[in-house]
Amino acid sequence: MTSNPSGIGKLDNLQQEADCIAFPACRRGRGVHDALSKPLTFFEQSPRSDEIAARFPDLHPAFDKTAAVAEANRCLYCFDAPCTTACPTHIDVPRFIKRIAADNVEGAAKTILDANVMGESCSRACPVDVLCEGACVLHRYNRQPIAIGRLQRFAMESLNETGGGLPYAPAPETGKSVALIGAGPASLACAAELRRHGIRAVIYDNRPLPGGLNTYAIAEYKLTPAVSLREIDRIHALGVEFHLNTTVDAAMLDRLDNEHDAIFIGVGLGAVHRLGLDGEEKYNITDALTFIAHYKSGDITAISGRVGVIGAGNTAMDAASASVHLGASEVTMVYRRGPEQMSAFHFEYEHAKHEGVHFLFRANPVGLKGNGRVEALQLEHLEMTSDGSLVPVPNSTFELPVDHIVLAIGQSSHTELLDGDETHPPRLKLERGRIVVDRATGQTSDPRYFAGGDCTNGGREVVDAVADGKRAGRGIAAWLGVLNA
């Protein structure tokens, strides 16, 4: 698995590299500008691999203008539109669609961005079938729902073509400042909202580029790093400050606490769980997030041999589909339960099946076989008892020959920077590893701390993180006494 088509060794090293994921553009020095030249935008620093671009064509190619206007004209422009209610950021869907129909595409984009500063990535990554499009009234008439996601994407791309920016400017400075930990969608949306209220927003992130999972994890055929970073340039233009390659630990958090009026925590989730099998560390087993980040960076452009993906959530589906696109000879997903219990969205499952991924249900990994490299995954069949628990079927052990294993069995929480010790309680109240917040404002158990996104909801969608960040931005502004109407 490598950009060098002759070899397959690269995946072996991925786990060791997990903590220093850097995109090649930065390593090639494109991210380093000399003092006299204009700093590169984030978009200009995005990685680019022609091979990856060829292997991951768009899942839903963009509408052209004629198709967009025709689709917009199907909309009933509902009053109290259920699509708007279903959107966690409450984009005024009928309004932006009407503007497309009226050939006011810039106005449409501004309607979207006014409600959702990350409307471009959401137009590509949102599970629209279960959100806006799932709620469209046309379902009631047995008609195709309006393709809201694709219309939104059309509006955002049209805005990019005209070089348009956000529909608002930062408010006059209030002298207040907030540190935001993490540069994922939650912090970015919070930071935009803070600038809208004249509050200084300073973001810290441990990776070389901002965007969190938007830049590093979402399947390439939905969202490329370039699109994610172009969107972040718009937020940057509001005067948001970025400190990248900077890990915030408990000591640094103390310092930021002294320097700022409030803190926003948007650190997402932590590492992918391991299997816990004997000798696991010896073999070429990687976790799905590392694998995905490496192909998105162009570090891996091909994979050979058989891949076993363990897990059955959306991340597992993405890793399995990506393995197919990268050229794996056979991809098998292994899951302890049955298809009806998978946490992946149904359409993600259908997509993976359509891509040619095989599924092995009610199978539990019990061992690894190989000589330096993994050669087979040892599994046992499971069956469900009358009380719903899973038990091994006696004498049912079997082997799945594999050349690579990718783990996607859930992520741990990631709140070390809030940890206490024997004498100090944790800095914030946590429940099952999640930071407890007031949903309306994002405020935590410490009134100066706010939080949102995956670290509070346990891992949902980009649009949920954006909605959390937006609410928290307003919550902070209100708490600091600078909320503009």
Q: Does 368 bind ligand SF4 (CB under 6 A)?
A: no
Distance of alpha carbon 332 from alpha carbon 323, whole angstroms:
10
CB of 161 vs ligand FAD, minimal distance in Å: 24
Distance of alpha carbon 146 from alpha carbon 137, whole angstroms:
9
For the chain, give the number of residues: 485
Binding-site partner at residue 81 among ligand FAD, ligand SF4, none, CB < 5 to 8 Å by type: ligand SF4
Tell me if 188 sits within 8 A of 117, measured CB to CB. yes
Distance of alpha carbon 316 from alpha carbon 294, whole angstroms:
15
In the three-class reduction of DSSP (H, G, I as helix; E, B as strand; rest coil), residue 419 is classed as coil
Among 31, 47, 88, 94, binds ligand SF4 (CB under 6 A): 94
- Using CA atoms in the order 73, 75, 79, 83, what is the torsion angle rounded to 10 degrees? -140
Whichever of 13 and 246 has its CB closer to ligand FAD, that residue is 246
Distance of alpha carbon 159 from alpha carbon 233, whole angstroms:
14
Count of residues that interact with ligand FAD, criterion CB under 6 A: 38
Binding mask 381-410 for ligand FAD (x = CB under 6 A): ------------------------------
Specify the amino acid at residue 1: M
Q: Does 132 bind ligand FAD (CB under 6 A)?
A: no
Q: Does 93 bind ligand SF4 (CB under 6 A)?
A: yes
List the structure tokens of 253. 């958090």
Stretch 51-70 residues interacting with ligand SF4 (CB under 6 A): none
In the three-class reduction of DSSP (H, G, I as helix; E, B as strand; rest coil), residue 390 is classed as strand
Region binding ligand FAD by CB under 6 A among candidate stretches 57-65, 130-138, 265-273, 360-368: 265-273
CB of 82 vs ligand SF4, minimal distance in Å: 5
Tell me if 224 sits within 8 A of 140, measured CB to CB. no
CB of 271 vs ligand SF4, minimal distance in Å: 39
Helix axes 148-162, 93-101, angle to 10 degrees: 60
CB of 228 vs ligand FAD, minimal distance in Å: 10
Q: Does 179 bind ligand SF4 (CB under 6 A)?
A: no
Binding-site partner at residue 182 among ligand SF4, ligand FAD, none, CB < 5 to 8 Å by type: ligand FAD
Q: Which of 418, 419, 467 is nearest to 442 (CA)?
A: 467
Whichever of 99 and 207 has its CB closer to ligand FAD, that residue is 207
Q: Is 372 exposed, middle or buried (0-12, 13-18, 19+ CB in 10 A)?
A: exposed
Count CA within 13 A, CB hemisphere, residue 382. Answer: 19
Q: Does 125 bind ligand FAD (CB under 6 A)?
A: yes
Stretch 136-165 residues interacting with ligand FAD (CB under 6 A): none
Among 76, 102, 169, 483, binds ligand SF4 (CB under 6 A): 76
Q: Does 126 bind ligand SF4 (CB under 6 A)?
A: no
Stretch 22-61 residues interacting with ligand FAD (CB under 6 A): none
Tell me if 392 sits within 8 A of 363, measured CB to CB. no
Q: Does 313 bind ligand FAD (CB under 6 A)?
A: no
Q: Does 206 bind ligand FAD (CB under 6 A)?
A: yes
Region binding ligand FAD by CB under 6 A among candidate stretches 43-51, 182-190, 338-346, 442-450: 182-190
Compute how many other C-beta atoms are within 10 angstroms of the C-beta atom of residue 164: 16
What are the beta bridge partners of residue 450?
264, 443
Q: Does 247 bind ligand FAD (CB under 6 A)?
A: yes
Residue matched to tokens 């279960």: 130
Residues with Cβ within 8 Å of residue 19, at least 6 apart in sequence = none
List the structure tokens of 245. 């390659």
Stretch 452-481 residues interacting with ligand FAD (CB under 6 A): 453-454, 460-463, 465
DSSP 8-class letter at 472: H
Binding-site partner at residue 77 among ligand FAD, ligand SF4, none, CB < 5 to 8 Å by type: ligand SF4
Q: Which of 330, 315, 270, 322 is nearest to 294 (CA)?
A: 322
Distance of alpha carbon 266 from alpha carbon 183, whole angstroms:
7
Whichever of 49 and 315 has its CB closer to ligand FAD, that residue is 315
Whichever of 155 and 382 has its CB closer to ligand SF4, that residue is 155
Q: Does 357 bind ligand SF4 (CB under 6 A)?
A: no
In the three-class reduction of DSSP (H, G, I as helix; E, B as strand; rest coil), residue 376 is classed as strand
CB of 387 vs ligand FAD, minimal distance in Å: 32
Whichever of 116 and 158 has its CB closer to ligand FAD, that residue is 116
Among 137, 171, 237, 417, binds ligand SF4 (CB under 6 A): 137
Instruction: Please report, as ranges, the residues that interact with ligand SF4 according to CB under 6 A.
Output: 75-78, 81-83, 93-94, 136-138, 146, 148
Instruction: Please report, as ranges, the residues that interact with ligand FAD according to CB under 6 A.
Output: 125-126, 181-187, 204-207, 212-214, 217-218, 222, 247-248, 266-268, 289, 292, 314-315, 318, 414, 417, 453-454, 460-463, 465
